[in-house]
Structure 1
Amino acid sequence: MNNEVKTFREAILLVLHTWRAASAFFFSIELWLMVGVAAATVGGVWLAFMGDAWSLLAFGFSIGYVVARTVLHVKRILNWPFI
């Protein structure tokens, strides 16, 4: 596929085509869980730095998600190409 874009219209069409191809991933719960784990990890580090015990809850969510995802991959319930 030649992706040489010469006009603004071709650029818009290429962006729309790319979005449609990737929309299944962007709308998946898996992506939003990964974003949530990243936010919980950053928040947990910040709370731990501030000396707040709520950091344990944030770290527990992050670690629990990674463990649950690994178990689901091992049992072949999830078939994503990455762990």
Structure 2
Amino acid sequence: MAGKVIRIERLAPREGANEEPELSAKGYCLGDPKFGTVKHHAKNAVYVKTLEEAAELVSQGFSLRMIGKGKRASLVAPRSLNIIRA
């Protein structure tokens, strides 16, 4: 995996939405796979400051919270994400 991460995209975005990782004041939000079906709960959230860190965790099986215009944020499984590097 060479090159700087420039984008993480959803392979099959929801209809009518161009989705991107949600960036909050805490950083990018990810779901730790060790929490299984409750990884989406706020208490189990993992936050990182950079897209590079987010990509590293996605590569380790973490889900990434994605958002699109007019759509609620949703946790997207790593198999449904594509990491774009320069």
Q: Higher relative contact order by CA 8 Å / sep ≥ 6: 1 or 2?
A: 2
Q: Which has the larger radius of gyration?
A: 1
With normalisation by structure 1, the TM-score equals 0.20
TM-score after normalising by structure 2: 0.19
Instruction: Report which of the two has the higher share of helix.
Output: 1
